[in-house]
Amino acid sequence: DDSDDDDDDADAAAPPAKKAKTSEVDKDERTVYLKGLPWTCAEAEVSEWMAGCGTIEAVELPVQADGRASGSAFVIFDSEEAAERAKGMNGETFPGSERWIKVLAGAHGRRDWDEAAAPKANDSGTSSIFMGNLSWTVTEDQVRECFGGCGAIESVRFSTDRETGEFRGFGHVDFDSAEAAAEAVKLAGTYVDNRAIRVDYATPKAPRESWGGGGGGGGYGGGG
């Protein structure tokens, strides 16, 4: 009889484990992926456009490896039904623009970005890394805590808008060696301030020879 009780206890413990396993799948079902957004689009604009579909938990605007806007977004709703309504907006024009937007399943976009986020070879031998998908409230201390074990950090740079001074959601970390940078890119996908960050080697800017005049050149993609 005692053995039967033990079996019952084991069966009772199984459902929570199964629920935890499917939580990420559930999130994908509640997420839509937008393509074709204006380069200057902000999270608030995306939220306002899709507000009629249901309650939005979060909006993510992933950036390209060089720190530039990607024209895409992930919108996470509180229900699958809301996400399905959002998919019905596929092909509609984004407010204030002539861009028609593709609205796809969230899992489709995650696959695209997982492949794009794979670290590339450090052909230039740089000792700096690019960080993308940063939280708007991230701090330098949090970044240093994340990468401190990779090697000596010389500086942490957060990119801001030149006109407004607002944080743009990405930045760079400068190490004292290429070896330290190689260790840092292994941390791609690590959660910093509750967001899984993108990490890759920083890409040197191409020289602006055709522009002439002073300045230009130097530094890394996206500024800082």
User: Phi and psi (nearest 5°) for 189?
Assistant: 95, -5
User: What predicted TM-score, i.e. pTM, was given to this entire model?
Assistant: 0.50
The answer to whether residue 208 scores a pLDDT higher than 50 is no
Which helix (H) or strand (E) element contains residue 108? helix 106-116
pLDDT computed for residue 114 by the predictor:
62
Q: For residue 51, name the pLDDT band (cuts at 50, 70, 90).
A: very high
The answer to whether residue 109 scores a pLDDT higher than 70 is yes
Q: Which residues contact 186 (CB under 8 A, 6 or more apart)?
A: 119
Which helix (H) or strand (E) element contains residue 165? none
Contact 135, 193 (CB under 8 A): yes
Q: What is the mean pLDDT of residues 31-59?
A: 92
